[in-house]
């Protein structure tokens, strides 16, 4: 096992699978101060990340004893990033659930795979390809600068303020009343984002963060 200095107050996370998804996630977690134990059955990948992550080890993550020896049951968070081997993904997730790890995230390659992961104990399922494809579709076809869907029918988007709202306060423009969306934050030219209030005056070129039902958010951003 290789390692590097652990930053103080970091969350402790086990990341299983160092493919593109797991590797990028593990790097990001370490960059944000988390202590990461990264496991993979491929010695080449483990060696590749040995100087970047807190702890890395070659392991068969479908082996309960191997996981116990590495101290996996003591971690409060786990992410299963195995994608190509569905059986290993399911077995590993099941073992982590048996350890009663409080928060388990698992990558799925399909909705069916995700349903099985949830049944064996995953608390959160991630569909990277599907989620990214859906997000990019919104950006390509709409007037959005960025888009995040939080649930089946709730989203937030970054968009340019529509002309009809320029020079008026948010209350006067009636955006919430007309479009059933909430302006959460606003960014004036050469300024940082600030929380929006009913008295906030919208200027030409302002960037808005809006939230609401998916259809309403889409309708609103089509105005720009």
Instruction: Evaluate if pTM is beyond 0.75.
Output: no
User: Is residue 3's pLDDT more than 60?
Assistant: no
pLDDT at residue 10 in the model: 66
User: Is residue 8's pLDDT more than 60?
Assistant: no
Q: What is d(CA 132, CA 85) in angstroms, rounded to the nearest whole number?
A: 21
Query: Who wins on pLDDT, 23 or 7?
Result: 23
Residue at token pair 């390692």: 3
* 36-71 pLDDT per residue, tens: 999 999 999 999 999 999 999 999 999 999 999 999
Q: What is d(CA 130, CA 64) in angstroms, rounded to the nearest whole number?
A: 31
pLDDT at residue 195 in the model: 95
* 157-215 pLDDT per residue, tens: 999 999 999 999 999 999 999 999 999 999 998 899 999 999 999 999 999 999 999 89
Query: What's the pLDDT band for 6 if we cut at 50, 70, 90?
Result: very low
13-22 average pLDDT score: 94
* 118-154 pLDDT per residue, tens: 999 999 998 887 777 777 777 776 788 888 887 768 9
- Does residue 97 contact residue 120 with C-beta atoms inside 8 Å? yes
pLDDT at residue 143 in the model: 81
pLDDT at residue 56 in the model: 96
User: Is residue 2's pLDDT more than 60?
Assistant: no
> Three-class SS string for the chain?
CEECCCCCCCCEEEEECCCHHHHHHHHHHHHCCCEEEEEECCHHHHHHHCCCCCEEEECCCCCHHHHHHCCHHHCCEEEECCCCCHHHHHHHHHHHHHCCCCEEEEECCCHHHHHHHHHCCCCEEECHHHHHHHHHHHHHHCCEEEEEEEECCEEEEEEECCHHHCCCEHHHHCHHHHHCEEEEEEECCCCCCEECCCCCECCCCCEEEEEECHHHHHHHHCCC
- Joined tokens for residue 219: 């309708």
């Amino acid at each position: 096992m290789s390692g590097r200095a652990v930053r103080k107050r970091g969350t402790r996370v086990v990341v299983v699978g160092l493919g593109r998804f797991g590797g990028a996630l593990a790097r990001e977690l370490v960059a944000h101060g988390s202590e990461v134990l990264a496991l993979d059955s491929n010695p080449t990948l483990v060696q590749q990340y040995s100087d970047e992550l807190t702890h890395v080890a070659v392991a068969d993550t479908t082996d309960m004893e191997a996981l116990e020896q590495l101290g996996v049951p003591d971690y409060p968070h786990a992410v299963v990033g195995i994608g190509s081997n569905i059986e290993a993904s399911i077995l590993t997730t099941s073992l982590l659930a048996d350890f009663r790890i409080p928060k388990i995230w698992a990558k799925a390659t399909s909705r069916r795979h995700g349903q099985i992961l949830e049944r064996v104990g995953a608390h959160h399922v991630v569909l990277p390809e599907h989620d990214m494809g859906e997000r990019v579709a919104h950006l390509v076809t709409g007037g959005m600068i960025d888009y995040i869907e939080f649930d089946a029918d709730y989203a937030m988007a970054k968009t340019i303020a529509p002309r009809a709202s320029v020079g008026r306060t948010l209350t006067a423009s009636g955006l919430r009343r007309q479009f059933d969306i909430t302006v959460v934050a606003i960014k004036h030219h050469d300024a940082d984002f600030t929380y929006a209030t009913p008295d906030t005056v919208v200027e030409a070129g302002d960037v808005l963060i809006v939230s609401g039902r998916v259809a309403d958010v889409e309708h609103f951003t089509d105005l720009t």
